[in-house]
Amino acid sequence: MLYHSFTNYAKYAWGANEYRPISKQTHTTDIFGNQSLGITIIDSIDTLYIAKLDVEYRKARNWIEKQFNPNVMFLDKAILVADRLLPAFNTPTGIPNSLIILSTGSSNNWIWAPGQCSILSELGTMHLEFQYLTQLSGKKIYREIVEKVRTVLQEAAENHMYYNYISSSTGKWCQKYASLGAMGDSFYEYLLKSWLLSGKTDERARTMFQNSMKAAEESMLRKTPTTNLLYFGEQRSERLDLQMGHLTCFVGGLYGLSSQHISNNDSKYQMDIAKGIAQTCREAYIRSDTRLGPETFHFERQDVEAKSLRDNEKYYILRPEAIETWFYLWRLTHEQIYRDWAWDAIISLEKYCRVDGGYTGIHNVYTISPSQDDVQQSFYLAETLKYLYLIYSEDSVISLSKYVFNTEAHPFKLETPVEFERGI
């Protein structure tokens, strides 16, 4: 699957950010801008390396070496990218804006964001990378700049609740909307993972993680009354929407990882949540005709539990989050069911998403003949296929005791290996 998706991208869209596997041409979005930065190459290179696709790995490495900031070594390339991003942090609070023009350093936020405010997941998702870059380069500025952001967020928290939109000018919340999925997810993920990357010395990160997850559990964690499906709803102005996005499915893996490292009496409780979320996301997959999970699923009524209600929620764009959680639970428990669920997803990917030129998303998971969106997302190679590969690999392949995955499934090597016990 990795070979098929990468070699077709290489044949028809080499150097482009993303690729259309049906029309066999480049795909551009406003997320990456109009310049060809080889995002798919950069995103997939470690997956190629891990999977021992040596020819394809060398092709990707050679492109990055010669085309992406040529004439400097790979760490220097990372530093150049980070330095180009630094002007986005030049706001009254230090909270970065979402968008930046790399050539000029001017930045702004998405026009659709409430109050054109900064987004919690976006500003939170930079912490691990900048922290790691400080460890690799010795330059303190990268960690200092994201620690300043974390300080502003911690001061803004209301009873340890963090909302999805915050003003980069005032450091105040723009809207009382909280979610562990879209607009929030990576912030929570990186609190735990930056603590692990610090060798468990960053006590503020650990404390913020524990407190924020407890607050999220109290306000958003629910269980359906008849089938006992566990899910995190979305908090909107003190009203809970009984829905969960596919993006939130990553939380099962996060709780699984936390259960192995947070030293308290909650390990079994956390693993129970991890398994519950894994099960709910599995149900969202198998309750569709394609056995692939929709973008959003609901829990308002028993007859539509873990299913989409609206047409604009029924699509699947090769997302990895459910598979990510099944990967963590396989590694942590070795319960065969998680490999079985992943294999079932593979069968559906092959049946509904594989085309002659690669893999495509689909518009409606609730039909056996879904139309296809003709987009092979870069994260499909970076995340979905990597986690699938690792589910069927030995535990020593990117061991969880030696690496921590960033939100795009790129493994960062821990300076201090961590220990965990399987089977809680």
Residues annotated in a binding site for Ca(2+): 407
Q: How far is residue 252's CA from residue 283's CA, in Å, rounded to a whole number?
A: 14
- Grouping H, G, I as helix, E, B as strand and the rest as coil, residue 183 is coil
Cβ-contact 228, 214 below 8 angstroms: no
Cβ-contact 397, 331 below 8 angstroms: no
- The candidate with the shortest Cα–Cα distance to 334, out of 389, 392, 280, 388, is 392
Task: Take residue 350 and report the two structure tokens written for it.
Answer: 């092959």
Residues 6 or more apart in contact with residue 21 via CB below 8 angstroms:
5, 8, 9, 355, 356, 357, 358, 359, 360, 374, 375, 376
Task: Take residue 209 and report the two structure tokens written for it.
Answer: 């993680």
Q: How far is residue 345's CA from residue 293's CA, in Å, rounded to a whole number?
A: 9
Neighbouring C-beta atoms of residue 178, cutoff 10 Å: 26
Q: Which residues pair with 107 in a beta bridge?
A: 100
In single-letter form, the type of residue at position 392 comes to: Y
Q: Of 295, 305, 321, 324, which residue is the catalytic one?
A: 295
Cβ-contact 79, 85 below 8 angstroms: no
Backbone φ, ψ for residue 418 (5° rounding) = -110, 160
141-156 vs 127-137: helix axis angle to the nearest 10? Answer: 150
Q: How far is residue 67's CA from residue 293's CA, in Å, rounded to a whole number?
A: 37
Q: How far is residue 246's CA from residue 384's CA, in Å, rounded to a whole number?
A: 13
295 is catalytic: yes
Task: Take residue 114 and report the two structure tokens written for it.
Answer: 């409430």
- Grouping H, G, I as helix, E, B as strand and the rest as coil, residue 16 is coil
Residues annotated in a binding site: 407
- The candidate with the shortest Cα–Cα distance to 282, out of 346, 365, 345, 361, is 345
Known catalytic residues? Answer: 295
